[in-house]
Amino acid sequence: MEPFSIQQATDAPTAIKAVGAAAGSKFIAGGTNLVDLMKMYVERPAVLVNINGLNLNKIETLTHGGVRIGALVRNSDLAYHPLIEKRYPVLSQALLSGASPQLRNMATTGGNLLQRTRCPYFFDISFPCNKRTPGSGCSAIKGYNRSNAILGGSDHCIATHPSDMCVAMAALDASIRIEGPDGERDIPFTDFHLLPGETPEKETVLKPGELITAVDLPPLSHSARSHYLKVRDRASYEFALASAAVVLNMDNGEIKSGRIALGGVGTKPWRATKAEQLLQGRPSEELYHTVAAAALEGAKAQTYNGFKIELAKRTLIRALTITAGGIA
Amino acid sequence: MNELIGKPIDRVDGRLKVTGKAPYSAEFPLKNLAYGVTVQSTIASGRIQSIETHAAESLSGVIAVITYKNSMSLHTLTGGDPGQGKFGERDLLPLQSDRIFYDGQHIAIVVAETFQIAEHGASLIKVEYEEEKPVFIIEDALSDAFQPASALGGGEAQTHRGDADKALETAEAKMEQTYITPVYHHNAMEPHATTAEWTGKKLTLYDSTQSVVGSKNAIAQILGVPPDDVRLYSYFIGGGFGSKGFTWAHSVMAPMAAKHVGRPVKIVLSRQQMFTSNGHRSRTIQKISLGAGKDGQLISVKHLTTSETSFVDEFVETAGAATKMLYDVPNLDATHSIVRLNKGTPCPTRAPGEAPGTYGLEVAMDELAYQLNIDPVQLRLVNYADKHPQTGQPWSEKHLKECYERGAQAIGWAQRNPAVRSMKEGDLLVGYGMATATYPANRSASSAKIQLFPDGHAVIYCATQDIGTGTYTILTQIAADGLGLPMASVQCKLGDSKLPKGPNSGGSQVSASAGGAVWAAALTLKSKAIQLAIADKESPLFGQSEESVQADGGKIFIAGSPEKGETYAQLLTRKGLPTLETEITTNVSTREGAPPAAGGEKKGGDQESSAVKADEGVDHKKYAFHSFGAHFVKVLVDPTLGTVHVDKIVGVMDIGRVLNLKTATNQIMGAMIFGIGMALMEGTIYDPTNGRVVTRDLTDYLVPVNADMPAFDIQFIDIPDPYISPVGARGIGEIGITGITAAIANAIYHATGKRVRDLPITPDKLLS
């Protein structure tokens, strides 16, 4: 890794100011992703601003019934928080299906939102990669792309967004609170991450110096059920081949409405809004198949990852089945 | 008598290891130590056009940058025996020319005051290449494939008996398929590491190696210094799995750099570098043909393997090795072709040959069993080899039938419905599969020294090494039993090339080889002590016959009358002896096709002891020495998502006498876990456009985790093999990974009806 200096921040404004003041500076919280990337020379920040001292590690109930998660809440604390386990099981399950206990003890909510892709070509600076070095080319498209995305890719990048947590938050219609040089703003979760298009190096709508301070989860109706299902090459400590987060509002055995997000298949946490519009009525295999087909509409297979289209459908159908409590 | 051999005794070095006090090769804080980091090529074939080192050299804290332009000259080492010294890549000594043979080849070393500066310096080196078109896929180079005359250590690479083609034509039943295994990397937990320090012309090395003597010899000869001027330590090794059996470039580059800068230098390979710079298991393409009668009796077996080697050495993955001895078949071709690729040179990996070979053979046997509607166990019994089918030798011991019986019983084989896709637990498909395990029972010459001290404790010395398997512990047990001492009174010193020469840790030979030597040394030393006592008027044993005296609990006494005797401590103290010692060599070899063992280091004196003579007196050439076993596996498969969980593995092993039930079970369990990896997830991927490794870390190169673990039922036949050594133990390091992958693949077939013939069996292959 390249030499860097580190500064301690005690509150958000000083942290934001410190990052804004030095070119090539970055916030660091858990460091579980950033430090790895620094070791691989993918990230070369000259200055790190340590935000671990900021008062952003609380989980609070909001007046309208939702929950606010501080950006520094560790993944394990979030996963095991009674409010989350009870009201948002999909989020707890997603968190616990990611990484390892040691990593979850360090990784933060805000950091997880900014997790970089695990595309092996992004991690190895000997390969061209448009996300790492804009304009250098995409090695994955012509290379070994079994883990790459089938949804949301472009001719410039097919890197999969790796987070499990984000898939659940997308399905929960979360919003992200941001503080920056120009004050505070809220961003709907689905607007936060960007598709690669022609600028895969731009992964979020964050502007320079902006700091994530919290994630807000809206209230769910009491009858809502949710579930996260992840399919992978080994039983733990592995990224998804395909995953699905499902939130269903049920009434009298019927699905009134639902929200779906997919992981392991998209260049961003993949909210399947079109499929959600079809998600109504008595649970049936036929309904689930129709919904799954819609969710994967437009999926594009690469040389080695074509199986993900079918696998993602089956994963979603299984997740819907579990969430609804079996076929009625 | 308190017998220690066989007991599930805790590792003698366990506490040191779990408290972080066991020093590994990168953990010797030498004074004035400098740190070396290597720079590697990023093309697979061509030449270095220019290499810009100025920026690195200008970096504060960088001491030197060494490339082929300013490197010392080295000497080619042609030896092929890792016990004597085998360099991994014969024709590619480090930093000697501008030629590039594979991506990841070391092309420079940056030496600096700290590891961080060295690494930063390495990142500043800019290289321009003259690139040539590489070839890195076996299928692209098949026209240049050739059949090597021999494999590692002179082993047979081409085996024929009868007329396999003709017999196949006449067979009532035929099964012909191709099986493919990918490249594997060993991925020991401890990275490869070498620390080198020159003192005048003498060189001290701390090197993580499976062969302290071989590595010492190899490095000395390549550097052009007398081997006696080099001393190599490897006290603790965090796994090797074959990758530390040969000597690799970094182990030579550390002393080169140390000489260059006049300071001790340490080089530790990164995880990423361990995917290019210390060998791998070659991909194999195995064409297997079985010809049999309707009763399943094999009349023809063909096992034709193609694997890869590099442009700088030859290595053969002998996948047909088990095929030539496992079943009683009169007509056989077991051939091996190799193809040169622009990759690093392959090397032994976790049961080289047998692990991928038994996958092919034992899946093929399963296919034949289903084709003929014969129970897979029965098919193996029909073809049971009562003697070695190639040599006609009797087996030293073979209890494979009992392995099948006990394994089948434990898994509930008879209760399963053998029809494919017929069994379910909830929504999951259930499958049962089995396969045979086998591995040669190698033993080679080994010396050992034991010293007794006046305080009653003894120390064993042997220049072998404990690669994490429990060698310290089992040698301590053997010596303690031989001398009649408690465990706590025996110390074991290994991992030092200056000690009496022991075996390299390869081919599962250490327990039999060093164990045999330590046993003979212990008996010889006990005999010396007893002879001393019975000749000493002041001893309570004066005038007794040697045969009437036995030893236990640190005491020598008249058999049956423990009160009539004295302790070793009393004897040595009274005689005023600072030590009583012996050093012997057991000059025994059971290796198939290997040349006779090297002459013993010690002749005369203790070498003539009855214990050594009894051991060497067995006609080892008369017997075929092999270990056997059977794996039975139950899997659960999600038919919709394609995920497989191995639910239970029963392994019954016939490995002679069990030396330590705990470490033996560890060995088999570890091997089974690697088998789960091979079956379900493991494999190195190379970029299809340029041949660079894509799966360069343990995020992308998957090995099983705890959540993948089945219930293990590991059993041993535990019948001593009196011919391999008086201790009766055959090696156990590798047999556990043979057959297991096939057993899992066969269970998946039983569960799903899908026969996957290219590993690993990932969910995508079971989706359709």
Tell me: the pLDDT tens digits for A273-298? 999 999 999 999 999 999 999 999 99
Distances (CA, A) of B145 to B164, B272, B303: 22, 30, 16
The closest of B218, B280, B229 to B83, measured between CA atoms, is B218
* B308, part of any domain: no
One domain for residues B433 and B478: no
Determine whether the interchain pair B687/A144 forms a contact, defined as Cβ–Cβ distance below 8 Å: yes
The pLDDT value recorded for residue A23 is 84
Residues of A with CB under 8 A from a CB of B: 1-3, 41, 118, 120-121, 123-124, 126-127, 139, 142-144, 146, 231, 233-239, 241, 307, 310-311, 314-315, 317-318
How many Cβ contacts (< 8 angstroms) between chains A and B?
Answer: 85
Query: Is there a catalytic annotation at residue B734?
Result: yes
Partner-chain residue, chosen from A41, A120, A233, that has the shortest CB–CB distance to B681: A233
Residue A37 structure tokens: 């990337």
> What residues of A are in contact with residue B700 (Cβ under 8 Å)?
118, 120
Chain A interface, mutation test: which of B43, B638, B700, most A Cβ atoms within 10 Å? B700
B579, B600, B617 - which closes a domain: B617
User: Are B767 and A307 within 8 A, CB to CB?
Assistant: yes
* Largest CA-CA distance found in chain A, in angstroms, rounded: 61
Total number of domains in chain B: 3
Kindly indicate whether the domain formed by A224-324 is annotated with CATH number 3.30.390.50: yes
Co-location of B36 and B63 in the same domain: yes
Assign residue B85 a region (left: φ > 0; alpha: ψ between -120 and 50; beta: otherwise). Answer: left
What's the CATH number where B736 sits? Answer: 3.30.365.10
User: How far does Cα B494 stand from its chain's mean position?
Assistant: 17
Flag residues of chain A having pLDDT under 70: 326-328
Residues B397, B386: Cα–Cα separation, whole Å:
10
Cβ neighbours of B699 in A, within 8 Å: 118, 239
> Is there a domain that residue B77 lies in?
yes
The per-residue pLDDT for B596 is 46
**pTM for this model (two decimals):** 0.98
pLDDT for B599 equals 44
Say what the pLDDT of residue B768 is: 80
pLDDT tens digits, B380-390: 999 999 999 99
CA–CA gap between residue B85 and residue B733 (Å, rounded): 21
Q: Domain holding B86: CATH number?
A: 3.90.1170.50
CB contact under 8 A, A234 and B706: no
B82 and B220 fall within a common domain: yes
For residues B481, B484, B489, B493, the Cα torsion angle rounded to the nearest 10 degrees is: -50
> In which band, very low, low, confident or very high, does the pLDDT at B585 lie, cut at 50, 70 and 90?
very high
Mean predicted confidence (pLDDT) in B528-547: 98
φ, ψ for residue B552, nearest 5 deg: -165, 145
What integer pLDDT is reported at residue B603 of this predicted model? Answer: 59
What one-character DSSP code corresponds to residue A204? B
User: What would the mean pLDDT of B177-188 be, rounded to a whole number?
Assistant: 98
Tell me the pLDDT tens digit for each residue of B313-327. 999 999 999 999 999
Structure tokens at B725: 């050594």
Q: Are residues B767 and B680 in the same domain?
A: yes
Q: Which of B89, B314, B317, B734 is catalytic?
A: B734
- DSSP reduced 3-state for B497: coil
CATH 3.40.50.920 fits A1-55, yes or no: no
pLDDT tens-digit series, residues B140-175: 999 999 999 999 988 899 999 999 999 999 999 999
Separation of alpha carbons A289 and A321, rounded Å: 11
Beta bridge partners of B395: B624
Substitution target in B685, B699, B768 with the highest count of A β-carbons within 10 Å is B699
For residue B435, count CB atoms less than 10 angstroms from its CB and return exposed for 0-12, middle for 13-18, buried for 19 or more.
buried
Residue of B nearest to A144 (CA): B687
For chain A, report the end-to-end CA distance as a whole number of angstroms.
Answer: 56
Choose the final residue of a domain: B241, B267, B293.
B267
Return d(Cα B764, Cα B685) in angstroms, integer: 16
B609 with B731, same domain: the answer is no
The b-or-e profile of B168-198 (16+ CB within 10 A means b, else e) is: beebebebebebbbbbbbbbbebbbbbbbbb
B89: Cα separation from own chain's centroid: 19
**Shortest alpha-carbon distance between residue B684 and chain A (Å):** 11
Task: Say what the pLDDT of residue B591 is.
Answer: 81
Domain residue limits at B201:
23-133+192-267
Q: Do A144 and B705 touch (CB under 8 A)?
A: no
- Among B267, B289, B314, identify where a domain stops: B267
Residues B33 and B126 in one domain: yes
Distance, in Å, from the CA atom of B653 to the CA atom of B715, rounded to the nearest integer, reads 6
Burial B121-130 (b: 16+ CB within 10 A, else e): bbbbbebebe
Reading the block at residue A286, the tokens are 């036929």
Q: What is the pLDDT of residues B291-302, one digit of tens each?
A: 999 999 999 999
Same domain, residue pair B100 and B213: yes
Instruction: Give CA–CA dist B123/B128, Å, rounded.
Output: 14
End-to-end CA distance of chain B: 62
Give dist(CA B539, CA B400) in Å, integer: 50
Domain ranges of chain A: 1-55, 224-324
Give A241's contacts in chain B (Cβ within 8 Å): 763-764
pLDDT tens-digit readout, B640-650: 999 999 999 99
* pLDDT at B719 exceeding the cut of 50: yes
**Residue carrying structure tokens 């997603």:** A94
Query: Residue B733 has what DSSP assignment?
Result: T
The confidence band for B73, taking pLDDT boundaries of 50, 70 and 90, is: very high
List CB contacts (< 8 A) between B695 and chain A. 120
- Shared-domain flag, residues B636 and B576: no
**Domain membership flag for residue B169:** no
Residues B414 and B453 reside in one and the same domain: no
> Residue A17, SS3?
helix
Mean pLDDT, rounded, for B548-569: 97
Strand-pair partners of A229: A244
A147 CA to chain B: closest CA distance, Å?
Answer: 10
Whether B498 and B644 share a structural domain: no
Give the E-state strand segments of A39-137 in sequence order.
Answer: 47-50, 59-61, 67-70
What are the structure tokens assigned to B380, written together? 């193996």
Q: What is the pLDDT of residue B2?
A: 60
The closest CB to that of B641, out of A127, A237, A314, belongs to A314
Q: B315 CB contacts (<8 Å, ≥6 apart)?
A: B152, B279, B282, B309, B338, B345, B346, B347
Query: Is B581 found in the same domain as B490?
Result: yes
Residues of B with CB under 8 A from a CB of A: 42, 116, 119-120, 123, 640-643, 645, 680-681, 685-689, 692, 694-697, 699-700, 702, 704-708, 762-764, 767
Beta carbons within 8 Å of B134's beta carbon, 6+ residues apart: B43, B44, B45, B102, B103, B342, B690, B691
* Interchain proximity A231–B643, CB inside 8 Å: yes
The mean per-residue pLDDT over the stretch B560-589 comes to 97
pLDDT value, residue B348: 98
| pLDDT tens-digit series, residues B501-515 | 999 999 999 999 999
Residues across chain B:
768
Dump pLDDT digits (tens) for B600-634: 455 568 999 999 999 999 999 999 999 999 999 99
Chain B: closest CA distance from residue A154 (Å): 20
pLDDT of residue A223: 80
Which are the contacts of B471, defined by CB distance < 8 A and separation ≥ 6? Answer: B464, B465, B494, B505, B510, B511, B514
Contact A120 B706 (CB under 8 A): no
From B103, B107, B104, select the one nearest B135 (Cα to Cα). B103
Nearest-neighbour CA in chain B from A201: distance (Å): 21
Strands (E), B310-408: 331-340
Kindly state the average pLDDT of the residues B358-380: 98
Contact A143, A122 (CB under 8 A): no
- Interface predicted TM-score (ipTM) over 0.85: yes
Question: Do residue B609 and residue B724 come from a single domain?
Answer: no
Number of Cβ atoms within 10 Å of the Cβ of B559: 14
Query: Is B215:B207 a contact under the CB 8 Å cutoff?
Result: yes
**Partner-chain contact A1 B116, CB within 8 Å:** yes
Q: Rounded to whole angstroms, how far apart are CA atoms B573 and A16?
A: 77
The band of B50, judged by pLDDT with boundaries at 50, 70 and 90, is very high
